[in-house]
A and B are shown apart, each in its own frame.
Chain A
Amino acid sequence: LVATGVGAKTYRRIRFILIQNRAGKTRLAKWYMQFDDDEKQKLIEEVHAVVTVRDAKHTNFVEFRNFKIIYRRYAGLYFCICVDVTDNNLAYLEGIHNFVEVLNEYFHNVCELDLVFNFYKVYTVVDEMFLAGEIRETSQTKVLKQLLMLQSLE
């Protein structure tokens, strides 16, 4: 089957979002496809291997199997999004940053430990901003307003 790219241009989605630290510990893994647990573990290790060898002079994009990883490092954490090769690199790169700014605001200067102790809240933040592998909401104001509202519920 030869791809002409037409079909490939139609719609796409995020395959997974990973937050890992330099040592390879996963701080968030959000999967938008069905993988079994072994496969997930393999992907986590591969992504770590691919991303951590790169430095600031490299691009924020790496080919990964037949997809690509858009990633950005914040202090000791790598935020990685796996998307289709024809996807818009910069849109996802800024998608990551937008997400990080929301986390930063929500957790008041977010640090790695916040993600560890509040892992269940991080999932909520992700679901507000990305759903079904698509960008759901991009306005920081709107997302934070919603999170604040949820925070007030018991």
Chain B
Amino acid sequence: MPAVSKGDGMRGLAVFISDIRNCKSKEAEIKRINKELANIRSKFKGDKALDGYSKKKYVCKLLFIFLLGHDIDFGHMEAVNLLSSNKYTEKQIGYLFISVLVNSNSELIRLINNAIKNDLSSRNPTFMCLALHCIANVGSREMAEAFAGEIPRILVAGDTMDSVKQSAALCLLRLYKASPDLVLMGEWTSRVVHLLNDQHMGVVTAAISLITCLSSKNPDEFKTCVSLAVSRLSRIVSSASTDLQDYTYYFVPAPWLSCKLLRLLQCYPPPEDGAVKGRLVECLETILNKAQEPPKSKKVQHSNAKNAILFEAISLIIHYDSEPNLLVRACNQLGQFLQHRETNLRYLALESMCTLASSEFSHEAVKTHIETVINALKTERDVSVRQRAADLLYAMCDRSNAKQIVAEMLSYLETADYSIREEMVLKVAILAEKYAVDYSWYVDTILNLIRIAGDYVSEEVWYRVIQIVINRDDVQGYAAKTVFEALQAPACHENMVKVGGYILGEFGNLIAGDPRSSPLVQFNLLHSKFHLCSVPTRALLLSAYIKFINLFPETKATIQEVLRSDSQIRNSDVELQQRAVEYLKLSSIASTDVLATVLEEMPPFPERESSILAKLKKKKGPGAVSVELEDGKERGELNGGGDRGGDAAIAASNASTPSPSADLLGLRSTAPASGATPSAGSLLVDVFSEAGPSATSAGVNDDGFLSSAPPTVASEDPAPPLPESDELLNKFVCKNNGVLFENQLLQIGIKSEYRQNLGRMYLFYGNKTSVQFVSFNTTVSCPGELQSQLNVQTKTVEPLVEGGAQVQQVINIECLTDFIDAPLLNIKFRYGGALQNISLKLPVTINKFFQPTEMAAADFFQRWKQLSQPQQEAQKIFKASHGMDTEVLKAKLLGLGTALLENVDPNPENYVCAGVIQTKAQQVGCLLRLEPNAQAQPGEQMYRLTLRSSKDTVSQRVCDLLAEQF
């Protein structure tokens, strides 16, 4: 074997490097370098032509100086000259200099390309490789323009040497990534795919990277690679440990190639051909079996190589998510690793199990390892391993183990590393809410969170607990008692004071009967924290105080005294001062009745998606982290960072749409114009202004008395739906809130929200007259088939609606299976003796249960193809009834509930979307493509809308609904 001695071949270089190493100081080093630079410069400028050796030596010295971190501003031309030398060592140094010091000096690029061209056509494999490596290292657009046509030819030519093929394949890959538009595979495709059959394993190893890249962009063109990859894999997996000679690594046959083959297969769905699939399943089973065999070597290299293949095989099994047997076996194997003495394996097992937890086939199997995982959380020395354990606990959590997992996470939080506390807090908060059966447990959990890790509890978390307490009267007393106790602690976190202030201000009365928590005791307790708090918290406490005056008149004098003190009424903070002044005035002049109205208990918050979940996603998501390592073109490919769930994430039912309103209490949007800090100011607004959303909007909206309910209907039977009810329904397909119906008497507003297969709708009935409605009665019914498809529940409303007043009704909806018709809403009431009887369609449409699904182009078209049976597709071609404004179209498509996928359709005019409809019975994946002919004359603009889903009725219904929207 060759051995090289110090800098052999270039003595001057070795001397120079030694000199530099002997420099005692940075100054000495710089001095030595400057001396050398002067020397080289004079040599390059000298009259005497330098020979190749000297040129090589000086260029190499310059390179060394550059690598030490010094700027080099000359020598490029000499390096380029070296390229045309016919000595390998000179050429090599020339190419190296060019590769390391790429310079977009345009004159040089031309010369460099010329030299590369000569080398590529030299038929000297060594020179060809040097040239190809240079292209692969630089990968500039100019090089792609010059060589993208030539390299595929070299790659597939019969007489090309193996080592050149290897370099050509990867060189092409580099050019394709940098300039995909310039690399046209077309005629070469099939021959490139067949490199998978090449005799030389090195060629296969290199080519498969290229094929994987190309397949991920054009899966259809390259799909023949699947069967070739399976047979290649099968040959490797079934070979004896020494069969592959050079490619056996510590008794493992071709580990890297095996991994690459398994990775390539992850670009595709399971093979359709039964024989191929059978062969592949056999491979996967063999790999799992081998994991159980005794090791052929004690070396870690042996087990690492073996396990690299195993983990890649498990990734493929998870990607397919269709072989329960393999999934469970994978889970058992990982379970063994959880207790392995190698930290690496424990880490990887935790990570891999996390994705297994989201498969319905293996979720239960994963859960059996809970004790081991909890133990890992407690005992692992490496924080990244503990982090994976926490991730896995989060992933395996469900109703059956939520209490245990949350308790363990809480106790871990006490000692958790600072770097992961915030994320842990969010996870605990989400699990506590998601799996709360009794809400006192939820309240305890969140208060514990604040106690243990108050600094890491974000606004979203404490907003959320308040929202939930306000909305659930069964937990309010308990919450008041618990916060009261928590506030007893001498040093309690400011977030606790916020929650305490808010909750006691609302529900302090529920515990005031106990002399230990009498109104004054409560007040004094809160006020004892006041001076330690920041301005926003103080503002909140002032609001709590005024609420106390209303709840407990006996505290009025004490609180007024506090408000009147200089430190409040003359506070330098304008928000605090304003509150003190206004509250003092309010408490002095308002009658008890007025006070009671103004300071009434907060109405329930509209249910909405937990903003905590959105926050966690944002935190873990790719966008939130530094993206400096990305180059724009590869955004899609790099996004794996956020979601370890991989493909399974699409099927995972627990993911839900991040709500656009990140602010839990919706405060930010109503922040007052005053200069106060937003959170302080807006809390004030919130305390006073949470009336129904359309209470004041029931103004004059004169759209036709004629369309109002036929007042002459005398029958008590529900009237038939209004003729325009379908039109009204269509208005709400792409939106959730708005006015559903209005006539001269009545306005009906709607707010609704959906999560998975559940929905909640708030109906607001506004009496527009000054006369009361009597016998006001509403019913919701599901006609015919719909009864078995939707589960709709509602409470009756008060029979009296005063003039000018508004009543609210909540409707809970559960989607059992996909449906077509809409539920009917019937409203009956007497206005001045005349019976009003109105029937409308409630805008509950199947698309409301969409969960958006992001996917890459390759995946989209792959799925699209899978859904190619005629009945899976519904298509409509129709005239545009509105303009084709891009933003409007996008907004509508997003409103539909699907994810709008950018850069997927090759035609940028087209829109494609993907989503999964969540019903209790099943999930229906749905893909959509909308093709406008925007170029056409107005009036002739048309759309073609195509829907594909696994269920014919869904495709048809969504297509029908959406066709009315444009």
Contacts and interface: CB of A to CB of B under 8 A. Distances in A.
B424 to A, nearest CB: 16
Interface string B185-224: 0000000000000000110011001001101110000000
B12 interface: no
Given A11-B212, A88-B259, A90-B304, A138 B249 contact: yes
Contacts of B60: 120
A96 B712 CA distance: 86
B453 to A, nearest CB: 21
B92 A146 contact: no
A49 interface: no
A141 B304 CA distance: 20
A95 B301 CA distance: 10
Given A7-B637, A11-B209, A138-B205, A94 B631 contact: no
Contacts of A9: 263, 266-267, 315, 319, 640, 646-647
A151 to B, nearest CB: 5
Contact of A66 (B6, B7, B133, B622): B622
Interface string A111-154: 00110111111011001000111111111111010111111011
Interface in A68-99: 82, 84-86, 88-91, 93-95, 97-98
A18 B193 CA distance: 33
Nearest to B631: A33
B247 A138 contact: yes
Contacts of A105: 1
Nearest to B348: A89
B216 A15 contact: no
Contacts of B163: 146
A7 B308 contact: no
Contacts of B319: 9
B312 A131 contact: no
Interface in A39-73: 39, 41, 54, 57-63, 65-67
A4 B344 contact: no
B201 to A, nearest CB: 7
Interface residues of B, number: 110
A108 B3 contact: yes
Interface string B169-188: 01101100100000000000
**Would you call the interface of chain B mostly helix, strand, loop, or mixed?**
helix
Given A138-B256, A146-B163, A7 B856 contact: yes
Interface class of chain A by DSSP: mixed
A2 interface: yes
B381 interface: yes
B817 interface: no
A6 B355 CA distance: 13
A90 B344 contact: yes
Given A4-B647, A123-B96, A66 B67 contact: no
Contacts of B631: 33-34
B170 to A, nearest CB: 4
B646 A106 contact: no
B634 to A, nearest CB: 9
Nearest to A5: B646
Given A59-B344, A132-B173, A106 B3 contact: yes
B307 interface: yes
A12 interface: yes
Contact of A1 (B96, B853, B854): B854
Contacts of A3: 621-622, 639-643, 854
Contacts of A91: 255-256, 259, 308, 312
B832 interface: no
Contacts, number: 286
A148 B257 CA distance: 24
Contact of B246 (A10, A59, A136, A139): A139
Given A1-B623, A132-B171, A153-B89, A10 B629 contact: no
A10 B213 contact: yes
B199 to A, nearest CB: 13
Interface string B380-411: 01101100000000000000000000000000
B640 A142 contact: no
A58 B267 contact: no
Nearest to A152: B2
A106 B257 CA distance: 24
Contacts of A60: 344
B87 interface: yes
A2 B343 contact: no
Nearest to B860: A6
B773 interface: no
Given A106-B3, A132-B171, A11 B643 contact: no
Contacts of A34: 631
Contact of B312 (A84, A88, A132): A88
B637 A8 contact: yes
B382 A57 contact: yes
Contacts of B385: 59
A120 B266 CA distance: 38
A128 to B, nearest CB: 9
B637 A6 contact: no
B136 interface: yes
Interface string B612-655: 00000100011101111111000111111111111101100000
Contacts of A93: 304, 308, 344
Interface string B97-127: 0011000000000000000000000000010
Contacts of B639: 1, 3, 5, 7-8
Contacts of A66: 622, 625-627, 629-630, 638, 641
B640 A39 contact: no
A98 B259 CA distance: 15
Nearest to A40: B69
B305 A90 contact: yes
Contacts of A141: 245-246
Contacts of A131: 133, 136, 166-167, 170-171, 206
A147 B2 contact: yes
Nearest to B639: A3
B17 interface: yes
Contacts of A82: 629
B93 interface: yes
- Most central of B2, B304, B305, B628 by chain A CB within 10 Å: B2
Contact of B201 (A63, A98, A139): A139
B7 A117 contact: yes
A141 B246 CA distance: 6
Nearest to A29: B67
A57 B383 CA distance: 11
B643 A5 contact: yes
Contacts of A136: 166-167, 170, 202, 205-206
A48 B598 CA distance: 61
B628 A98 contact: no
Contacts of B17: 116-117
Point out which of B63, B385, B621, B639 has the most chain A C-beta atoms below 10 A from its C-beta: B639
Contact of B384 (A63, A67, A116): A63
Interface in B809-829: none
A44 B14 CA distance: 25
18 contacts: A8-B640, A10-B266, A11-B263, A29-B67, A33-B631, A61-B347, A88-B263, A91-B256, A131-B136, A132-B209, A134-B170, A134-B206, A134-B209, A136-B202, A137-B166, A139-B246, A148-B1, A153-B87
Given A10-B858, A106-B2, 4 more contacts: A7-B856, A8-B641, A26-B67, A88-B311
Interface of A: 1-13, 15, 26, 29, 33-34, 39, 41, 54, 57-63, 65-67, 82, 84-86, 88-91, 93-95, 97-98, 105-108, 113-114, 116-121, 123-124, 127, 131-142, 144, 146-151, 153-154
